[in-house]
Amino acid sequence: MKIVIQLLLWAVIGFLGSLTFNAVYEPIQFNKVRDARYPKVIDKLKDIRKAQLAHKEVIGRYSGDWDSLVQFIDTAEFVVTQRRDTTVLDEEYKATYGVDEYKSETIIDTLGYTPVKDSLYKNTDRYKTMMEVPYTDGKKFEIEAGKIYKNDSYIPVFEVKIDKADVLADQDEHLVNQEKQMLTVDNVRGEYIQLGSMSEVNTNGNWPKKYGTKKR
């Protein structure tokens, strides 16, 4: 009987030890997976941000459709300009007062045009797959664009996002749910890995500085 009790005690100790080990080991492994995957996803969002800002500069609004955004990059051009200051005769002043008066003006000269895709992505075509989210078996980022009313005018906005659960689909559900509740400045905040906003004027991402701002 004494041997049976000892064996049961060892079994309980072993079980509790296993629980303790898993409680420590699983979050560590989860963090390693998360920290390996998020930068790849964020790199895609950085490329998307460049495309959207270029679209806004040339077209005057953001794109809410992947096909049209890729087509824009394939075909659009930036205008290359040069600003120069000069002095010209103020004709209105002369007509009013009968004397010569000169005023300063800034003249913008058009020097030429350069393809958007060459300016933003050099010799790569990675923009054609920037909407595909890594580690999700082909899922695409959700994309939306429109305008919000602010300071007596309508301002273009956009939002691109993917649910963290899609990027971490093969991980422990409890740990994924904990990750989606992160709100501190040292973490990707909230349920999504997100760029921009449909509720405020913002073209930044919700990730912390540790993921870097290095240009691709």
Total residues found in the chain within this entry: 216
pTM of the model: 0.78
23 or 119, which is more confident? 119
* Mean of pLDDT over the chain: 85
CA dihedral over 80, 85, 87, 90, signed as positive or negative: positive
**Residue 83: which pLDDT band, with cuts at 50, 70 and 90?**
confident
3-12, 120-129, 166-175, 195-204: the lowest-pLDDT one: 3-12
Residue type, 146: G
At 179, which helix (H) or strand (E)? helix 173-180
**CA–CA–CA angle 132, 157, 52 (5° rounding):** 45
Q: How far is CA 42 from CA 48, 166, 168, in A?
A: 10, 14, 14
pLDDT surpassing 50 at residue 85: yes
Listed by start position, the domains of the chain span: 38-76+122-211, 82-116
Pairing of strands 142-150, 102-115: unpaired
pLDDT of residue 103: 72
Average pLDDT, integer, range 38-42: 97
pLDDT of residue 113: 77
The β-bridge partners of 71 are none
pLDDT surpassing 90 at residue 211: no
Average pLDDT, integer, range 29-36: 95
Average pLDDT, integer, range 142-164: 96
